[in-house]
Amino acid sequence: MQKLKQQVYDANMDLPRYGLVTFTWGNVSAIDHDRGLVVIKPSGIAYENMKPDDMVVVDLQGNRVEGQWRPSSDTATHLALYRRYHQLGGVVHTHSTHATAWAQAGLAIPALGTTHADYFFGDIPCTRALSEEEVREEYELNTGKVIVETLGKSNPLHTPGIVVYQHGPFAWGKDAADAVHNAVVMEEVARMAWIAHSINPALKAIDNYLMNKHFMRKHGPNAYYGQ
């Protein structure tokens, strides 16, 4: 697990580096599929003092297997996503400014351009509100469930992030670094969508064929972006 701890530590440290978190408002995890174990940030530890060995190892039911600290209070949300989607290698939660503003606005982040389409195939959905019961008991688990409910049968790697209503963004990817990469993209497209909408409230969503082209040239079977 040492290698995965290092990866999760590095990915967590990237959150302040990319301006996605204030204080301890974020957490990244990654899964070891073979062993069914998840490495996640400890709860409420300041980034500047954190070390790779502070990462906590839990099983998919949330039992602590390794580590001296309590895992992130959002652990149950991460685990719900890993149990449902076997394609996921890493999950991240932040309160990044612009994506959180869309969550507070209660709206999906609309697909308005190629920056968005290079990573997200269609709008970044906003979940429904949790009910009072869902919040009172097993709140973090229910947060995971409402994300799964909202994604439905979508390929989660084609929609590698979501905003939870009145809360904030969750993103994911093939591994911890990829999850953080997608969280950075989400924050940036959330910011652009706000500004674009403010410039022209009557703007139109990206043309479907343009979205398709951009997503596929990076992620499709005949991708030709990169090396």
Give the integer Cα–Cα distance in Å for 121 and 81. 19
| Maximum Cα–Cα distance across the chain | 53
Q: Which of 130, 146, 151, 183 binds a second copy (CB under 8 A)?
A: 130
Number of residues near a second copy (by CB under 8 A): 61
State yes or no: residue 100 binds a second copy (CB under 8 A). yes
Shortest separation between residue 62's beta carbon and a second copy, angstroms: 13
Q: CB–CB of 193/109 below 8 Å?
A: yes
Q: CB–CB of 171/77 below 8 Å?
A: no
Q: Which of 37, 65, 188, 219 binds a second copy (CB under 8 A)?
A: 188
State yes or no: residue 197 binds a second copy (CB under 8 A). yes
**Residue 43, both tokens:** 């709860």
Q: Which of 95, 158, 174, 219 binds a second copy (CB under 8 A)?
A: 95
User: Among residues 209, 206, 12, which one has the least CA distance to residue 109?
Assistant: 206
Give the integer Cα–Cα distance in Å for 8 and 98. 24
Neighbours of 221 (CB within 10 A): 5
Q: Which is nearer to a second copy, 33 or 205 (CB)?
A: 205
Shortest separation between residue 158's beta carbon and a second copy, angstroms: 19
Shortest separation between residue 92's beta carbon and a second copy, angstroms: 16
Residue 225 falls in the annotated catalytic set? yes
Q: Which of 3, 70, 86, 128 binds a second copy (CB under 8 A)?
A: 70
State yes or no: residue 154 binds a second copy (CB under 8 A). no
- State which of positions 204-223 bind a second copy (CB under 8 A): 204, 206-207, 209-210, 213, 217
State yes or no: residue 158 binds a second copy (CB under 8 A). no
DSSP codes joined into one string, 50-93 = --GGG-EEEETT--EEE-SS-B-TTHHHHHHHHHH-TT-SEEEE
Residue 9 falls in the annotated catalytic set? no
State yes or no: residue 53 binds a second copy (CB under 8 A). no
Q: Which residues of 120-157 are buried (b: 16+ CB within 10 A; e: fewer)?
A: bbbbbbbbeebeeeeeeeeebbbbbbbbbebbeeeebb
**Which residues form the catalytic set?**
118, 225
* Contacting residues toward a second copy, per CB under 8 A: 22-23, 25, 42-45, 69-70, 73, 95, 97-98, 100-107, 112-115, 118, 129-130, 132, 135-136, 139, 166-168, 181, 184-185, 188, 191-200, 203-204, 206-207, 209-210, 213, 217, 224-227
